[in-house]
Amino acid sequence: MSTQLARLPKTIASYLKSINNHDSGTFDALFAEHAIVDDVGREFRGLAAIKAWSDKEIFDAQVTLDVINVAKHGNETVITTKVDGNFDRTGLPDPVIINHHLTVEGDKIVRLMCRLAS
C-alpha cells in the first residue's frame, strides 16, 4: 500500500494512514468544520458528530483498510478497500469491500460517503 499512498493527494493518504495507524487525532483533523459523512445511508454533520461516529465505528473497532483500487471522478476520489477489524459482520459479505468517496477542498475533507462495493 505504501506505493499507492505515495501517489495519492496528501489528505487522502493521511485519511488511509490515520485509520490503519488507529490515529483518531489525525483522522479528526482531516475534516472541515462543515463536513458531512454518509456511512451507508447514516449521515453525520460537523466535527463533533463525525468524531463520535469514527470513534465508535472505526477506532473502537480497530478497523484497517487494504487498498484495492483508487479512481478519480471529477473532484471526488474513490478508494476501494478491503476492510478488517473487530466489528459485527452479521449480514456483511466476506470479504467486506467498501468504496470510500472523498471530496477534498483545500486540505480538508468536506464529504465522505462509504458504500459496500457491488
CATH architecture of 2-116: Roll (3.10)
Quick one: how many helices (H) and strands (E) in the chain? 4, 6
pTM: 0.93
Residue pLDDT, tens place only, 47-81: 999 999 999 999 999 999 999 999 999 999 999 99
The label of the residue with cell 470513534 reads 55
SS3 content of the chain, % helix, strand, coil (to 5): 30, 45, 25
Residue pLDDT, tens place only, 29-44: 999 999 999 999 999 9
What are the sequence ranges of the domains in the chain? 2-116
